[in-house]
Structure 1
């Protein structure tokens, strides 16, 4: 028997060796195929000069139009120049997960290596690196969390902050943290810092880093013809669809990029495109619609970067992440409706609704530039030219209009006790800082001394989640329903779980009833997740292809967004691992959701709404002077049910109406029983007149 095992082992080794050789040959062939393109990039002509600039200067600002090769080539230049000595890394941060994943895949191909070896990436809920990784792409937020456990970022010799002009909250905070890291490191282990921006104005970054040297490199941009409408369209989605098909039927070959404001719009337009194609002659149906947004699973994101089949035209339906962070090959036409969704934090209410607003001139120019990356292109702006000149010159930095609670929690974990004295590139308002500190204190992340609490605050800072979700998981551990809360947080983090086609409203509503729980949406989401668990377990023996096909059909049958559900399952797996490492107590309340609803009240006490005499709801803030009148969103299980008291997760503003989404019924007495003492005192002090009616 021993000799048989030995022979089998030998055969297995031979097969593995053969497979490795084939994979190695394929990687090498891909590298050789991409080599001419790399040499043709504008940045290739200044490789030596750039490397010398980095050797000479601890901080360098690199400004260049998109298309020059900054993001993919500079890390390779530095790697080849010896900046990874002693096993240290070159880190490149991106403002979005989509960019970090796709750029790392491209660079791995150019290097002729398997992704996760020399080149890898790390984003929220996903880590594709190894001990051999030397070029590491990641989000700004991931590097911030890494700095909590390693304040000097000792593993890195160079950090490149890419797309710094996008000015996300994480980018601005990261710049301040890196500035401190540079000061704290000894001369022998200096951190080289490179700030890269597509904006031609490098002054703000140069001044922030004490007059740091700025260099401009040439981009590659072909001419782009810009077309405007005579009048503002009443419905830009309809105008986008008409323009899309006009291009497809009348213009020469080339892919189309349409900018939309979010996942819901993208999926809506994608369905309309598919329906419209069926009405066209067969020879005009060669168009494939591909979505691209941040919560899309990485394997589906790659479809946007993969060439369409011969003879077909591809239309990419994307959010603003396609403006600068990623390069999509093949784009010749851009459709720009002129809107983007952004978060607007209201410090008076503590809410941060997503609102569609006009883009800036800088964004409009970035969007049109997408059409001129590989050849001359066309940009169709769905607004009159005089409206373009009314736009703001540049986008307002996120730190001036977004919730700062997560960023402040990270800074507290990094040992920054006085947030007002932190060296921000542009300081947020004092009111936003104060309100975020109050919110973190109410959640138990900070003590009355405004310092990080132990263990709750430190546990919350370790989880890559909004503070309110982190708090919910910790509270659920205490109340023996962590399994249910873990599912809930994963499902809420993945985006909208259901889709409802207008032409199949009744069918979709009937299908959804299988999962509905009359107590609310959070419990309904748990039912969906558990049903998917059962479905997948029953088909565990299928091949991957058949497994995926069956899963898609099951989701379609119940009008579930398969992309969101798959993403939720990935997030659940990653959070589960993190929560286990923290030592939280795993338990399930089973089918008895009474305890789980109490946990919702104990966790989401900052998002409680009470029914009024007119049937509308009043959002109960910790400052009664700033309460809002809201309504339950029509997509909610509780729509039309009028429970006395509810918790919710999101506020959506449509015209003059404010809707609350993801709602669940609770008893008001739980809210006053389980909320922090300080919050209860505030409510009691104001003697809210409607409380007595909501027992």
Structure 2
């Protein structure tokens, strides 16, 4: 019936037009829209520009479109936008593709570790900063890009800091090459790969590109922090432009005295707002999952004591390892008459904007990773926020209207906070950074032009680790073939070495699974109210040999379930059934799906490298031996009191409560990481034979006569 088809088409067209009009109106209402022409002109005039724009100004989604429309892709160049977080790169790319009215992966796309949604026609490309670093291995001039935008630079992640140093160098090379002939070879300040060595091979093992005549690279640094001086000074006095955000006034309230119990203070403030303040949702910043779950149960208990009419408070947690379907609940408006209270980690500071927030509770604390090069311990420690973080948090209360922020500390403490967060490069293990820089031909790590120099001892310790893994030669260059192979894999150095060795041990199939599972957030999701039930279910996957083999069992069980389902159902139905299976087995479906994606990508990488993929089947002895040969610096011996002493540094630690070897009788173990919370814990543990260490890692261990 033609008339019906026409009617449906008209309806679809109307919906499309209405949606397009709504998007256009939203774009025009963004604060950044009023300065579009000025920004494009500033980028034309300045090779480096710093844009300071508050969260909500529209800078991330709009600026790349302004530059595209302004002709910055006319010669086929790409506008690249880097993000510190994968989730931001993906969600923003999807939004911009919709705004442009194009299919994702065509004009607008994204590229993150283990996932590339771009094509030859992509001109606006969102990606993680680490991904762009890896691209520089193959294209040291980043010649495909006309503009690179480094977004969220204020977060100062280690990858962002390395990228800033690299881009500063690439920009100089591009400026010089635009005036140089095709045969000129340039040596950059950072010693990055721009000259011929080893009969035409660069030190990274890739064929050297001849210096082509390239247009200068336009570089834009975007920050939500109001202080742009550090970036401006680093880029030789680069111009800074401020873009106003959409910010309503926020009343800041402080406590009269310091709080001794932040959780109790947060609980009292939640209830006080709920009972005494007008409509509007509450956002509470807490330092981690444990604190969130504690507050959640305390609020529930106290709500029961209130009159029924006052119990209409919806409690929603938000942290990174929470299954995605539970995360999405924070974006759904509460039912009429109800108020939401969202208990979140700092994921809610800048990464996501939650509608409906009118009240923010800020205890002034944040959990950060900290690495001690002396002990080799990576700690999760709770520290005070910086002023910049405190301002980001309070700003969340003023996105849609006037709001209030309750800071659970006195005003005098705010005045004493650091202006900005300590850069991650000052507090993390640098071995991966050094491996990446070595692959780029940077031999003098200490002399590299970092915005802020890392700790010298941290650099030395990381170099020692890479020597022991066989990745570096005595001349601090990548070894051949192991160093080059490790640099090609987008993994931590220990994980890369494990895969390379596994091909020799005949268990690469299993090691691919183990490394993929260790690369994601916690595989098991255990709600407090189902603790006993979950323990019984998780035990069915447990291996007496340890956590690595338990993760292998989970992955294999998942594949078995999926394959069986696909013989009876469509792929979509099988995936839906798998989500239900995950829920029943207390497995985080999002983490498991991510692990499956990583497995697929790394498998392709090792196949291209020519590594032999074989399986050890159920005989996992070789897998445990390979783990010992790869993570030998993470070996620990049992002590008389039941604790373990780490052989490499003498640290005493306990097996983490979540490990299947929590009550192990094993004399010797290897672990994946050592973390410090209230005490030292080793996580992801597998039992090994002590004698294997001298056999498999003689560069580090020897048997006494």
Question: Where on the TM-score scale, by shorter chain, does this alignment land: which range?
Answer: 0.7 to 0.9
Tell me whether 1:328 sits opposite 2:354 in the alignment.
Answer: yes
SS in structure 1 of the partner of residue 653 of structure 2:
strand
Is the Cα contact below 8 Å between 2:365 and 2:382 reproduced in 1? yes
Is the Cα contact below 8 Å between 1:98 and 1:301 reproduced in 2? no
TM-superposed CA distance for 1:374, in Å, is 2.1
Tell me whether 1:82 sits opposite 2:85 in the alignment.
Answer: no
TM-superposed CA distance for 1:591, in Å, is 0.9
Measured against aligned partners, the alpha-carbon deviations of 1:540-587 in whole angstroms (never above 9, x if no partner) come to 244677656543443333333333333322322332233333232211
Cα distance change on mapping 1:283 and 1:424 into 2, 3 Å: same
Is the Cα contact below 8 Å between 1:84 and 1:90 reproduced in 2? yes
Correspondence 1:220-619 to 2 at 5 A:
220-229=246-255, 236-237=262-263, 239-240=265-266, 243-244=269-270, 247-248=273-274, 251-263=277-289, 292-294=318-320, 304-305=330-331, 313-540=339-566, 541-542=568-569, 547=574, 550-619=577-646
TM-superposed CA distance for 1:272, in Å, is 7.5
TM-superposed CA distance for 1:378, in Å, is 1.9
TM-score by length of 1: 0.88
Measured against aligned partners, the alpha-carbon deviations of 1:55-86 in whole angstroms (never above 9, x if no partner) come to 11111111233222211211111011010113
Which residue of the partner structure matches residue 641 of structure 1? 664
SS in structure 1 of the partner of residue 75 of structure 2:
helix
Tell me whether 1:69 sits opposite 2:58 in the alignment.
Answer: yes
Whole-angstrom CA distance in 2 between matches of 1:108 and 1:172: 28
Which residue of the partner structure matches residue 686 of structure 2? 664
* Greater alpha carbon shift after TM alignment, 107-116 vs 663-672: 107-116
Is the Cα contact below 8 Å between 1:102 and 1:302 reproduced in 2? no
Tell me whether 1:100 sits opposite 2:123 in the alignment.
Answer: no
TM-superposed CA distance for 1:163, in Å, is 1.4
TM-superposed CA distance for 1:34, in Å, is 1.8
Whole-angstrom CA distance in 2 between matches of 1:417 and 1:195: 27
Task: Structure 1: give runs of 5+ residues left out of the alignment.
Answer: 1-14
Which residue of the partner structure matches residue 700 of structure 2? 679
SS in structure 1 of the partner of residue 632 of structure 2:
coil
Whole-angstrom CA distance in 2 between matches of 1:62 and 1:654: 37
* Greater alpha carbon shift after TM alignment, 437-446 vs 282-291: 282-291
Is the Cα contact below 8 Å between 1:297 and 1:567 reproduced in 2? no
Whole-angstrom CA distance in 2 between matches of 1:269 and 1:487: 36
Which residue of the partner structure matches residue 3 of structure 1? none
TM-superposed CA distance for 1:284, in Å, is 6.7
Cα RMSD of the aligned pairs, angstroms, is: 3.1
Measured against aligned partners, the alpha-carbon deviations of 1:183-215 in whole angstroms (never above 9, x if no partner) come to 111335110001111222222111111111222
SS in structure 2 of the partner of residue 353 of structure 1:
strand
Which residue of the partner structure matches residue 165 of structure 1? 154
TM-superposed CA distance for 1:312, in Å, is 5.9
Is the Cα contact below 8 Å between 2:107 and 2:122 reproduced in 1? yes
SS in structure 2 of the partner of residue 93 of structure 1:
strand
Is the Cα contact below 8 Å between 1:475 and 1:599 reproduced in 2? yes
Cα distance change on mapping 1:314 and 1:110 into 2, 3 Å: farther
Whole-angstrom CA distance in 2 between matches of 1:564 and 1:282: 38
Task: Structure 2: give runs of 5+ residues left out of the alignment.
Answer: 179-213
Which residue of the partner structure matches residue 11 of structure 1? none
- The counterpart of 1:198, out of the listed 195, 206, 224, is 224
Whole-angstrom CA distance in 2 between matches of 1:514 and 1:184: 58
Measured against aligned partners, the alpha-carbon deviations of 1:398-455 in whole angstroms (never above 9, x if no partner) come to 1111111111111111111111221111111211111111111111221222111222
Whole-angstrom CA distance in 1 between matches of 2:435 and 2:44: 35
Which residue of the partner structure matches residue 109 of structure 1? 98
Number of residue pairs the alignment of both structures matches: 664
Whole-angstrom CA distance in 2 between matches of 1:240 and 1:573: 44
* Greater alpha carbon shift after TM alignment, 532-541 vs 260-269: 260-269
Tell me whether 1:651 sits opposite 2:640 in the alignment.
Answer: no
TM-superposed CA distance for 1:168, in Å, is 0.9
Whole-angstrom CA distance in 2 between matches of 1:571 and 1:21: 43
Whole-angstrom CA distance in 2 between matches of 1:470 and 1:287: 48
SS in structure 2 of the partner of residue 679 of structure 1:
coil
Which residue of the partner structure matches residue 9 of structure 1? none
Measured against aligned partners, the alpha-carbon deviations of 1:326-352 in whole angstroms (never above 9, x if no partner) come to 433333222323222211111123332
Whole-angstrom CA distance in 1 between matches of 2:674 and 2:125: 36
Whole-angstrom CA distance in 2 between matches of 1:463 and 1:287: 47
SS in structure 2 of the partner of residue 344 of structure 1:
strand
Between Structure 1 and Structure 2, the one with more helix by share is 1
Is the Cα contact below 8 Å between 1:30 and 1:110 reproduced in 2? no
Is the Cα contact below 8 Å between 1:31 and 1:111 reproduced in 2? no
